[in-house]
Structure 1
Amino acid sequence: MLYKELKESIRTLGFLTIEDFVHYIGVTPSDLLEWEEKDEVPYTVSLIIHLLKGDVDLPNNAALDNLVEECLPLAELLEEASSFPHKLEEMFLLQKQLNDSTNGKNWELGQNKFGKEINWLRCIHMEVAELIDSTPWKHWKNINAAPDMNNIHVELVDIWHFLMSYILQETNVPKAVSLVNTHCIYEAVEIEEIDVKLMVKEAEKLSYISLAIETGNMPSFSGVERFIDQFFRCCKISGLSFMWLQKLYIGKNCLNKFRQDHGYKEGTYIKEWNGDEDNVVMVSILEKMENVSFEELYTALEKNYPGK
């Protein structure tokens, strides 16, 4: 919303001046000057006007109608956000269960049940490389190719698996939910507006954080907070909403469990299903499910698995 549109809209709400309006909503004069200089008003203010509109009988006003249309996505996002703590708790519990079953009960100590070292930081670093490989970053090959956004989103979900594991290594589930919750409220960039170069640069920062912690140049716990903030920034600029992240996570978590149950660790698992990688099959099944159910998805994977 533009600043000049705000000035027009508040008159229809009964405010004589814009100063009266900002005083009413508790905004400082310096904030008002900043809006005027940028000719841009924050979404939260647009939402307030939308709520005020519902309380009074207003005349038709094109500027106000535009404002209401603009703030509705934020209103919907805030409504969705009320379910985020529950969704986060579900994901962290599923991740802990997956780690317990595949790595043993004491995986938080840095070794799996076979005595193999666990390095979540290296896992994140390697997944970032796979994400970047889904973009046309090479100056010598396929320079005009489009990025594989579906696979980029899957790679972000893989990073999320390892990041949650690293967080759980440092703290417990309730604290993990508390740390992450405030970062989940964001509006993902529309796919057609994604800046691929920026996306790659921001993804690389996840690797930098991994390496900084690994080499002792960043304290582990402050690194967790940096990781969380940077990860959700990557999701935002990659067009991956928190709701789709959660849905994909349940899908990928289920697929990981399915892989382990069908010989992944032993090397007997079949990853290509009738010409498609298992990730692709999983997403195609997931897209047809209105509500994600771990059990229903697992059953659907069994029906499609070529090794059954």
Structure 2
Amino acid sequence: MLYKDFKESIKALGFLTIEDFIQYSGVTSDDVINWEEKNEVPYMVSLLLHLLKGEKELLPTNWALDTVIEECLPLASLLEEASSFPHKLEEMFLLQKKLNDSTNGKNWELGLNKFGKEINWLRCIHMEVAELIESTPWKHWKNINSAPDMNNIHVELVDIWHFLMSYILQETNVPKAVSLSNTHCIYEASEDVDVKLMVKEAEKLSYIALAIDTGNMPSFSGIERFIDQFFRCCKISGLSFTWLQKLYIGKNCLNQFRQDNGYKEGHYIKVWNGNEDNVVMVSLLEKMDDVSFDDLYSKLKEEYSKCK
């Protein structure tokens, strides 16, 4: 199906905009841009439009239909999974607010913590992007052929998400934050990671942070750009929204655990029997089907007691 036929078909079906179809079908804006550039829409999408219009005579023969259904299953699975995303987003934003209230004190949204120290979420994002890039072999003078540390890259993305959520909550509230983020969560994480592209896209998060901080981009439009670019980075790096949420709860729990065990005072032990606490946390997550904040906190407490 040609792109122009695709646009006419979704209009005939009652979709007011392409964005409405994106939200309904589970494809991404990047997918649609790619279709427009190639002037060609994938067969699976064309089939979906025919089914919605009831054009059964255009469906493939029975022997081919089994193959098509098999190809559609990942999309159906993604859409079913996506129905839980608003709840998961709300849970994460509420956890982030609770963590900030605990570590920074009430009214941290005004830009100061309970000790009177300035809070700069934009700088936090900028610094975490640098740590993400450090997990790749970007240096032309050192370790040229080494592999990127994808596990740590995903952890750094989760750290960026902590600070990005905090910045969003500083500028708005939880329901609005969920509304702004919801449609961006529906994507299929890349299986083949292009490291150079990943670094370039991660750097754009720093550019957005600096543009807002220097007054060259309005805060609210910056938030929308931030959210879109962040989930693009997740997609390119192979980090699914489901694993992002799982890692977030893990890292949020670890951050609270650190605070409860002297992180701010400087006597917290970050390396547990030869492994950094982030690594221990991820290994615990991988063994848990359903991640509960309280259950993970108990497991961290048990592991930490062994390294004292």
TM-score scaled by length of structure 2? 0.84
Measured in 1, the distance between the counterparts of 2:12 and 2:95 equals 42
Deviation at 1:72, TM superposition (A): 1.2
* Closer/same/farther in 2, CA of residues 255 and 23 from structure 1, 3 Å limit: closer
Aligned to 2:81: 80
Aligned to 1:196: 195
Secondary structure, in 3 states, of the residue corresponding to 2:248? Answer: helix
Aligned to 1:26: 13
Give 1:276's aligned amino acid: N
Larger displacement relative to structure 2 (65-74 or 204-213):
65-74
Aligned to 2:23: none
- On the 8 A contact 1:135/1:147 being kept in 2, the answer is yes
Residue 208 of structure 2 is aligned to residue 209 of structure 1 = yes
Aligned to 2:68: 67
Q: Which runs of 5+ in 1 are unaligned?
A: 5-17
The residue correspondences of 1:213-292 to structure 2 (distance < 5 A) are 213-292=212-291
Deviation at 1:68, TM superposition (A): 1.8
Residue 122 of structure 2 is aligned to residue 121 of structure 1 = yes
* Closer/same/farther in 2, CA of residues 27 and 90 from structure 1, 3 Å limit: closer
Secondary structure, in 3 states, of the residue corresponding to 2:62? Answer: coil
The residue correspondences of 1:35-54 to structure 2 (distance < 5 A) are 38=39, 40-41=41-42, 43-47=44-48
Measured in 1, the distance between the counterparts of 2:176 and 2:165 equals 12
Larger displacement relative to structure 2 (178-187 or 43-52):
43-52
Deviations 1:35-90 (A, max 9, x none): 9x75542654444568899x99985323x333222221111111111111100000
Measured in 1, the distance between the counterparts of 2:52 and 2:295 equals 40
Q: Which runs of 5+ in 2 are unaligned?
A: 16-31
- On the 8 A contact 2:44/2:68 being kept in 1, the answer is no
Secondary structure, in 3 states, of the residue corresponding to 2:67? Answer: helix
- On the 8 A contact 1:189/1:238 being kept in 2, the answer is yes
Secondary structure, in 3 states, of the residue corresponding to 1:290? Answer: coil
Measured in 1, the distance between the counterparts of 2:225 and 2:232 equals 11
Measured in 2, the distance between the counterparts of 1:27 and 1:99 equals 43
Measured in 1, the distance between the counterparts of 2:282 and 2:201 equals 25
* Closer/same/farther in 2, CA of residues 26 and 291 from structure 1, 3 Å limit: same
Measured in 1, the distance between the counterparts of 2:90 and 2:78 equals 19
Deviation at 1:258, TM superposition (A): 0.3
Aligned to 1:156: 157
Aligned to 2:91: 90
Give 1:211's aligned amino acid: L
- On the 8 A contact 2:202/2:233 being kept in 1, the answer is yes
Deviation at 1:25, TM superposition (A): 7.1
* Closer/same/farther in 2, CA of residues 47 and 282 from structure 1, 3 Å limit: farther
- On the 8 A contact 1:124/1:163 being kept in 2, the answer is yes
Measured in 2, the distance between the counterparts of 1:226 and 1:161 equals 16
Measured in 2, the distance between the counterparts of 1:249 and 1:162 equals 11
Note the aligned Cα RMSD (angstroms).
Answer: 2.9
Measured in 2, the distance between the counterparts of 1:105 and 1:38 equals 52
Measured in 1, the distance between the counterparts of 2:285 and 2:40 equals 42
Measured in 1, the distance between the counterparts of 2:14 and 2:219 equals 38
Deviation at 1:233, TM superposition (A): 0.4
* Closer/same/farther in 2, CA of residues 203 and 150 from structure 1, 3 Å limit: same
Deviations 1:249-294 (A, max 9, x none): 0000000000000000001000001111000000000000000110
- On the 8 A contact 2:10/2:49 being kept in 1, the answer is no
TM-score scaled by length of structure 1? 0.84
Measured in 2, the distance between the counterparts of 1:24 and 1:170 equals 35
Give 2:63's aligned amino acid: N
* Closer/same/farther in 2, CA of residues 41 and 73 from structure 1, 3 Å limit: same
Secondary structure, in 3 states, of the residue corresponding to 2:184? Answer: coil
Aligned length: 284
Flag the structure with larger Rg: 1
Deviation at 1:184, TM superposition (A): 0.6
Aligned to 1:141: 142
